[in-house]
Structure 1
Amino acid sequence: MSTEIRWGIVGLGKIADTFARDLALVPEAALTAVASRGLKKAEAFKEKHKAVYALGSYEELFNCPEVDVIYIATPHSHHAPLALRAMECGKHVLCEKPMGVNREQSSTMLNMAREKKVFFMEALWSRFMPAIVRAKELVDSGALGEVRYIHADFAFYALDRDPEGRLLNPELAGGSLLDIGIYPVFLSYMLLGKPEKVHGVSRFHQTGAEIETSMIFEYDGAQALLFSGLTCNSEMKAMICGTKGTIYVHPRWHESQELTLQLGDEVHSLPLPKLGKGYVHEINEVHNCLNKGQLQSELWSHQNSLDLIELLDLVRSQNGIRFPFE
């Protein structure tokens, strides 16, 4: 592959807009093509972000010979079919989280990646944030001793949103758990692995979408208290407590730029600035993998994605969270 890596973007909403701005900060990245279901929207996005091509269908992008890797930024319900088609056409894929809405979809996507020998990664951008990377390094090094407790939440008020939009519409896999609950679940999994027991309670909107979920993950010697919701605004900070010390991940923790490390009476502030909005770090990981010929990331592997969706499936099954298309 040449030094320049040529990107295409599918689904041109708010997340894609932010991603494109960060893509422009990466010298080796070129925004080659953008695609929407309507050409007018694609052309407006192209002009704003200085892409080479605006395409009025996803299929045109999947078959564009000048694109190396495709970023999929559609609602969750569309991730699997679009990612599968892109890989069928031989494209590398970075797919927004969750990559599939359940383990069945996710396994099918990863099998396709292996069959076609293309790079595939779930776009769990927080995994590559400097603050999150440093927090994991501190835990893995034993700086906190044995981790005994994790607290992480992610909530914002969204009950005034369009009931047909992606957050409150079950047809689009809407709800808090897959959209933002994935972050607290990810943090606990990244630091402690898969729990021995999971307990969850959910509440639902009149549309049928889950709008609030509390979770307790039980480990051997540790617990994680996790929450996601569309019913209120939470502080969105995280705390990792061990037998020797505590890490406080400053709000908003999933994109934090600072840790506080407390070891006994000693308190250390650790500034860890991100580049751009923060998508730069996952973009760099994709580039590093492609340049090395790797088909998956060592920091966020295919198995990591499968483990994560299994945990989300378990919470969903306990709490009766289902989507009409499943």
Structure 2
Amino acid sequence: MLNWGVIGLGRIAQRFCESLSHFDEACFYAGASHNPEKRQQFKELYHPERLYDDYMKLLEDENVDIVYIALPHASHYKYALEAMKHHKAVLVEKPATLTSKEIRTLCEYSEKNHVFFMEAMKSRFIPMINQVHKEIEKGIIGDIVSIENHFQSIVSYDEHSYIYDPKQGGALYDTGIYNIATVLDFVKSSVVSISNDVKVEHGVDVHDSITLEFENGVKAFMEASLDGPVRKDMIITGTKGTIILDPFYRPTKAVISFNGESFTGEIPYDIDDFHTEIEACHEAIAYIKVESDRMSHQDSIDCIELMERIGETICRL
């Protein structure tokens, strides 16, 4: 039985714990939050063995095997490293860190000390995403020519929200990481050109319209926003056809068009969109691996490095 500890008991952690409750081989053992109301809420909903008002107390609990870190972005690095120093496996929400130096440090520590570490990029584990990979490998749409994806939301300004904190917020860090990770999942080539038409408000980027050109000739257009309009689809265009996913980061359906015809394929979740990500952690730990094949350390490094390069285009006034 794997005992999970959860640091940060917000909305995402609630969805995570709900998914975790469907596993027989693991349980939500301990949670930590500075907010007493959230601790009480999780106590009533999930009945963990332990609830802490201090994150370090959870990490010092010898019964905790693996930690899920669902804190604001700027806290990911600190507590992921502390968790591994306390011999805990780690699943940390995206983006795992804010800088390439930090992500390299975490990955190196994981590898040198034989501790499992993974960024929670759940899109990599969605069954439909993996099926789309198989269809592309079969050549159903030919060679990829371009990818366009959108993660556009409406998030009202809140001076107390980490999303509007210039040090860790903005559309690129909050949702753009999904755009980036998904493009890099399908295009295995080096980025040779980056442009970004960016809109900045309240000291953060609220709208990024990013164009990438890859060494192999593929082009990608990515749009991430906090100011709408709401849109969360992706179109992969090949030499013979197209594939449309909506929402692209957790799809259950794909519309595939080729030879003048279109059809819709569907692969529902077994439980929900967290389940296969959690399952991947359990499998890696069972096989004494320090990383996942589908979201490897190098994958996280590549994502953060590209995000860092794109971030250089943003002037945070």
State the TM-score, normalizing by the size of structure 2. 0.95
Report whether the alignment pairs 1:99 with 2:96.
yes
- Shift, 1:39, TM fit: 4.7
The one-letter amino acid of 2:238's match is: G
What's 1:51 paired with?
48
- Quick check: 1:139–1:191 contact (8 Å CA) kept in 2? no
Give CA-to-partner distance per residue, 1:108-167, whole Å, 9 cap, x none: 111221232100000000110111111222223322211101110001111x24222021
- Shift, 1:283, TM fit: 0.1
Report whether the alignment pairs 1:263 with 2:258.
yes
What's 1:87 paired with?
84
Report whether the alignment pairs 1:312 with 2:307.
yes
Q: Secondary structure at the match of 1:232?
A: strand
What's 2:180 paired with?
185
Q: Compared with structure 1, are the counterparts of its residues 311 and 285 closer, same or farther at alpha carbon in structure 2 (3 Å cutoff)?
A: same
* Identity between Structure 1 and Structure 2 (%): 29
Q: Which range moved further: 297-306 or 133-142?
A: 133-142
Q: Which range moved further: 282-291 or 311-320?
A: 311-320
The one-letter amino acid of 2:250's match is: E
CA distance, structure 2, for counterparts of residue 181 and residue 321 of structure 1: 16
Report whether the alignment pairs 1:162 with 2:146.
no
- Shift, 1:275, TM fit: 3.3
CA distance, structure 1, for counterparts of residue 239 and residue 35 of structure 2: 56
Report whether the alignment pairs 1:66 with 2:60.
no
What's 1:77 paired with?
74
- Shift, 1:226, TM fit: 0.6
The unaligned stretches of length 5 or more in structure 2 are: none
CA distance, structure 1, for counterparts of residue 112 and residue 39 of structure 2: 31
CA distance, structure 2, for counterparts of residue 95 and residue 262 of structure 1: 36
CA distance, structure 2, for counterparts of residue 269 and residue 14 of structure 1: 32
CA distance, structure 2, for counterparts of residue 223 and residue 265 of structure 1: 23
Q: Which range moved further: 133-142 or 283-292?
A: 133-142
- The one of 238, 242, 248 aligned to 1:246: 242
Give CA-to-partner distance per residue, 1:199-233, whole Å, 9 cap, x none: 11211112x11111111111232211110001113
Q: Secondary structure at the match of 2:119?
A: strand
- Quick check: 2:205–2:314 contact (8 Å CA) kept in 1? no
CA distance, structure 2, for counterparts of residue 292 and residue 321 of structure 1: 44
- Quick check: 1:12–1:35 contact (8 Å CA) kept in 2? yes
Matches within 5 A, 1:297-308: 297-308=292-303
Q: What's the C-alpha RMSD, in Å, of the aligned pairs? A: 1.5
The unaligned stretches of length 5 or more in structure 1 are: none
CA distance, structure 2, for counterparts of residue 84 and residue 169 of structure 1: 23
Report whether the alignment pairs 1:108 with 2:91.
no
- Quick check: 1:43–1:55 contact (8 Å CA) kept in 2? no
The one-letter amino acid of 2:227's match is: T
- The one of 219, 233, 239 aligned to 1:237: 233
Aligned residues: 315
- Quick check: 2:153–2:231 contact (8 Å CA) kept in 1? no
Give CA-to-partner distance per residue, 1:162-216, whole Å, 9 cap, x none: 2220211224x0110011011111121111133222111211112x111111111
Give CA-to-partner distance per residue, 1:15-62, whole Å, 9 cap, x none: 101111111122222110001124553243122112111111111110
